[in-house]
Each structure stands twice: as structure tokens, then as C-alpha cells.
């Protein structure tokens, strides 16, 4: 993650401006004062967002120093101290809410991801995210998934070609859709086909798809289908299952698939409760 990227710098400025508006009206009460503070985890989970917090406070006021005590992705317990801050009291107060909001959101995603990844321990099956992300926060939310032990699927529509029901219908079939993408893609790209039936999955593999997303198949169906798809693949296709409830992860992992994709860590996670305490 490039914490110094121009895109992230612009985003930090927007987020700070959103809260600061025309200026913090409490600033005169703190003018000229130096302060110290630290962050505490109020519940167990996975911490995420430390470098972002550091960048945000330093962007707000170069006089603020942030010392990270926990690394992103590291498990924390309630009461653990996560980072320490020193600097102008006006800056510490002004940046507190924005920094906490971001870190609690990202830590919640990392925590939820880690809980699901733990269920797949030892199976060889990886947990992947989706494009169901908050607009403007995709890079950070996907980073949080990685901090929780998951992997990123597509970052965007230009990252890989995923052919779904509408693409297949409008292109005149799976084979035609894959051929069109292969012929006109401006750079080498993986082609993934979302299959809802065994016939679609088989056609996708035979037409040279790099991956097949097996949507809404039962574990029993996958146990029978996966070996057949492996047998008819000449290039080592990646088989992915989706539409799976969290409590079914282990059952699906035993079917021989490579990936389980889910939006749950991003769309269903709760913020991890963190607190900034002044000393």
C-alpha cells in the first residue's frame, strides 16, 4: 500500500475538510498547548490503519508525531495500547474523529476477514473479496481484507474480465464472449466466467477461461463437478465458489475448489471499537 500516493493524499484532505469545515471552534481553548494521547483497543480483533492514521495526522499538522505500537493485521486484545501521539493539542483534537472512524472501519473488516480465514485454516482454500466496496474506500477496504488474511480479487473492471449472465446473453454465448474479450483486450487479462450450471462451467473451461466462478452450487454438486472440470482443463483453471454463508465455509472448502469469494467482511462487518485517550 502506497501511503504517500497523490490519490490518498487528496482523499485525506477531503476527509479532514469534511469534519473541520470552516475550522474547529474549540481551537482557541487549546491554542499554544502541546498534548499527548494514545489509542486503546476496547475489544479484541485485528488492528488495521496505523500507517493511515500516521499519514492523516502528519498531513493535518507536521508537528504531530505518531508512534505505532501495533502493526496492521496484528491481533489485539481489549486494553491493548495501539499507538502514541504527541504534538499541538489543536491538531490532536481536530484529527481524532476522522482518524478513529477510518481505523475502526478498517479494523472491523480485518477482524471479520480473519474470523472467516480461520475457518479455512489447513484446507488450502483461500478467501477472496469482491467489488462490493464503499465508493472512495475500495483500496483501503481491500487492504483491510489482506490484513485479515484474505486475498484481493479484482480491484476494478480493468483488472480482469469477469463474464456474467448479461455478458453471456448479449455476446451470444460463453465461447463467443471469451473470444471477443481475448481478441480486443488492450492488455493481457485473465478471463473469469460466472457459471450457474454444469454445462456453462464446462463450456467456460473448454473455451479457455482462466477461472470459473461457480455460483449457488451445493457442496454435493461441487464435489462431483470439480474433478470433471479439472480433467477438461488444459491450462489449470481456478475454480471459485460464491454465494456461501459464513457457517458453510468448511463444507465448501472440502469440495476441491481453490477460492471462496465473499463480500461479507466489507458489507457485514462491524467497526472495531477503539478509543483515543489524552494524557
CATH of the domain at 235: 3.20.20.70
Considering the domain boundaries, does residue 232 fall inside one?
yes
Q: Are residues 52 and 184 in the same domain?
A: no
Q: Are residues 104 and 177 in the same domain?
A: no
Considering the domain boundaries, does residue 188 fall inside one?
yes
Q: Are residues 83 and 192 in the same domain?
A: no
Q: Are residues 215 and 164 in the same domain?
A: yes
Q: Name the domain count of the chain.
A: 2
8 Å CB contact between 227 and 256:
yes
Choose, from 141, 203, 215, 240, the residue flagged as catalytic. 215
Assess whether 97 carries a catalytic annotation.
yes
Choose, from 10, 14, 132, 268, the residue flagged as catalytic. 132
Q: Which residue range forms the structural domain that includes residue 43? A: 6-118+270-278
8 Å CB contact between 107 and 47:
yes
Q: Where are the beta strands (DSSP E) in 116-222?
A: 126-128, 161-163, 191-195, 211-215
Q: Are residues 107 and 174 in the same domain?
A: no
Q: Are residues 134 and 233 in the same domain?
A: yes
Q: Are residues 73 and 144 in the same domain?
A: no
Pairing between β-strand 274-278 and β-strand 238-242 as defined by DSSP bridges = unpaired
Assess whether 132 carries a catalytic annotation.
yes
Nearest alpha carbon to residue 258 among 149, 123, 117, 153 = 123
Q: Are residues 211 and 196 in the same domain?
A: yes
Choose, from 96, 129, 141, 194, the residue flagged as catalytic. 194
- Residuewise pLDDT in 10s, the chain (279 residues): 889 899 999 999 999 999 999 999 999 999 999 999 999 999 999 999 999 999 999 999 999 999 999 999 999 999 999 999 999 999 999 999 999 999 999 999 999 999 999 999 999 999 999 999 999 999 999 999 999 999 999 999 999 999 999 999 999 999 999 999 999 999 999 999 999 999 999 999 999 999 999 998 999 999 999 999 998 876 789 999 998 888 899 999 999 999 999 999 999 999 999 999 998
How many Cβ atoms from other residues are within 10 Å of residue 153's Cβ?
A: 22
Considering the domain boundaries, does residue 176 fall inside one?
yes
**Would you say how long the chain is, in residues?**
279
Assess whether 138 carries a catalytic annotation.
no
Pairing between β-strand 259-261 and β-strand 126-128 as defined by DSSP bridges = parallel
Cell numbers for 188? 493481457
Q: How far is CA 187 from the centre of its chain?
A: 25
CATH number of the domain within which 106 lies? 3.90.1170.20
Nearest alpha carbon to residue 151 among 71, 251, 261, 269 = 261
Q: Are residues 250 and 143 in the same domain?
A: yes
Considering the domain boundaries, does residue 58 fall inside one?
yes
Choose, from 59, 131, 138, 164, the residue flagged as catalytic. 164
Considering the domain boundaries, does residue 1 fall inside one?
no
The residue written with cell numbers 493481457 in the block is 188
Considering the domain boundaries, does residue 225 fall inside one?
yes
Give dist(CA 35, CA 23) in Å, integer: 19
Q: Are residues 165 and 71 in the same domain?
A: no
The residue written with cell numbers 463474464 in the block is 163
Angle of helix 6-20 relative to helix 50-60, nearest 10 degrees? Answer: 70
Cell numbers for 202? 464446462
Q: Are residues 127 and 230 in the same domain?
A: yes
Considering the domain boundaries, does residue 249 fall inside one?
yes
Choose, from 10, 67, 97, 230, the residue flagged as catalytic. 97
DSSP label of 28:
G
Considering the domain boundaries, does residue 259 fall inside one?
yes
Assess whether 215 carries a catalytic annotation.
yes
Q: Are residues 79 and 214 in the same domain?
A: no
Amino acid at each position: 500500500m502506497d501511503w504517500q500516493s497523490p490519490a490518498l493524499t487528496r482523499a485525506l484532505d477531503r476527509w479532514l475538510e469534511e469534519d473541520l469545515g470552516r475550522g474547529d471552534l474549540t481551537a482557541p481553548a487549546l491554542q499554544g498547548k502541546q498534548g499527548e494521547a494514545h489509542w486503546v483497543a476496547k475489544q479484541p480483533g485485528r488492528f488495521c490503519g496505523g500507517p493511515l492514521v500516521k499519514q492523516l495526522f502528519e498531513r493535518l499538522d507536521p508537528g504531530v508525531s505518531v508512534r505505532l505500537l501495533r502493526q496492521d493485521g496484528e491481533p489485539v486484545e481489549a486494553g491493548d495500547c495501539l499507538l502514541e501521539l504527541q504534538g499541538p493539542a489543536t491538531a490532536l483534537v481536530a484529527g481524532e474523529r476522522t482518524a478513529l472512524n477510518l481505523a475502526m472501519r478498517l479494523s472491523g473488516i480485518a477482524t471479520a476477514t480473519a474470523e472467516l480465514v480461520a475457518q479455512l485454516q489447513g484446507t488450502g482454500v483461500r478467501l477472496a473479496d469482491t467489488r462490493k466496496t464503499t465508493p472512495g474506500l475500495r483500496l483501503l477496504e481491500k487492504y483491510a481484507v489482506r490484513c485479515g488474511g484474505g486475498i484481493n480479487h479484482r480491484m476494478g473492471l480493468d483488472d480482469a474480465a469477469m463474464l456474467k449472465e448479461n455478458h453471456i446473453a448479449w455476446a451470444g454465448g460463453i465461447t463467443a464472449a471469451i473470444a471477443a474479450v481475448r481478441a480486443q483486450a488492450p492488455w493481457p487479462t485473465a478471463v473469469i466466467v460466472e457459471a450457474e450450471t454444469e454445462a456453462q462451467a464446462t463450456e467456460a473451461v473448454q473455451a479457455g477461461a482462466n477461472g470459473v466462478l461457480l455460483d449457488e452450487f451445493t457442496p454435493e454438486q461441487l464435489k462431483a463437478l470439480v474433478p470433471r472440470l479439472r480433467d477438461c482443463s488444459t491450462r489449470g483453471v481456478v475454480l471459485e465458489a460464491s454465494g456461501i454463508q459464513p457457517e458453510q465455509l468448511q463444507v465448501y472448502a472440502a469440495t476441491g475448489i481453490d477460492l471462496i469469494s465473499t463480500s461479507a467482511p466489507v458489507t457485514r462487518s462491524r467497526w472495531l471499537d477503539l478509543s483515543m485517550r489524552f494524557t
